[in-house]
């Protein structure tokens, strides 16, 4: 199975390059012995031949296994931070800042101006709404709406300018709802 990778419009790939390439591939594949299918169809086919989710290998970010070798769920935030610090001290390649297709770029450093407000409003939502307000209530859904609008890599991808202003404004709106409606 071959699929398009990418998280959306970053770099214009999905908007500008994917559509024409998709039609080209469909034309070529339509007359081949291997029929084109989407991911859902492929997974349904695997289920039909008896392959279950438990048959697949677990996938996790590079080096993450090392955390779970030293940290057990429930040990708390301080212990987790300690384990991460230990691993960083022992191996300069270990980080929790994400990566990129080039595997050498931080998705965090230099983007505090947009990631900081996103993290703050996410924590505020967890503190004020999760488990405290029924999910069907308007105030919960309204706050969640704005929170989810902030959760895209596009704001970080563009780094500076109008897109980061949009992100900060959405964070402000979510925070206002969480402050005044809760």
**What pLDDT digit, counting tens, does each position of 40-80 carry?**
899 999 999 999 999 988 777 777 889 999 999 899 989 99
What is the per-residue pLDDT across 113-156, written as a single tens digit (0 to 9) for each? 888 999 999 999 999 999 999 999 999 999 999 999 988 777 77
Domain assignment of residue 3, yes or no:
no
Please indicate, yes or no, whether residues 51 and 66 belong to a single structural domain of this protein. Answer: no
Q: What tokens were used for 66?
A: 């090392």
Please indicate, yes or no, whether residues 74 and 45 belong to a single structural domain of this protein. Answer: no
Please indicate, yes or no, whether residues 65 and 48 belong to a single structural domain of this protein. Answer: no
CA 123 to chain centre: 16
Please indicate, yes or no, whether residues 138 and 166 belong to a single structural domain of this protein. Answer: yes
Query: In 3D, which of 159, 134, 68, 6 has the Cα closest to residue 167?
Result: 159
pTM over 0.75? The answer is: no
Tracing tokens 């994917």 back to the chain, one arrives at 18
* Integer-rounded Cα radius of gyration of the chain: 21
Number of domains in the chain: 3
Query: Which residue range forms the structural domain that includes residue 38?
Result: 10-55
Domain assignment of residue 104, yes or no:
no
Q: What is the pLDDT, as a whole number, of residue 52?
A: 93
């Amino acid at each position: 199975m071959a699929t398009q990778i990418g998280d959306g419009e970053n770099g214009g790939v999905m908007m500008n390059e994917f559509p024409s390439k998709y039609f080209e591939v469909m034309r070529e594949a339509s007359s081949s012995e291997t029929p084109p299918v989407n991911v859902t169809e492929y997974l349904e086919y695997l289920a039909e031949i008896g392959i279950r989710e438990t048959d697949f290998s677990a996938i996790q970010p590079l080096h993450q296994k090392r955390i779970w070798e030293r940290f057990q769920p429930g040990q708390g935030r301080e212990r987790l931070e300690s384990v991460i610090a230990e691993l960083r001290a022992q191996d300069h390649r270990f980080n929790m800042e994400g990566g990129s297709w080039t595997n050498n770029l931080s998705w965090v450093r230099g983007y505090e101006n947009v990631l900081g407000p996103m993290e703050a409003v996410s924590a505020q939502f967890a503190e004020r709404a999760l488990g405290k307000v029924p999910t069907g209530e308007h105030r919960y859904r309204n706050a969640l709406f704005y929170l989810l609008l902030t959760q895209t890599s596009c704001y970080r991808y563009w780094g500076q300018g109008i897109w980061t202003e949009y992100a900060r404004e959405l964070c402000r709106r979510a925070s206002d709802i969480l402050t005044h409606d809760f």
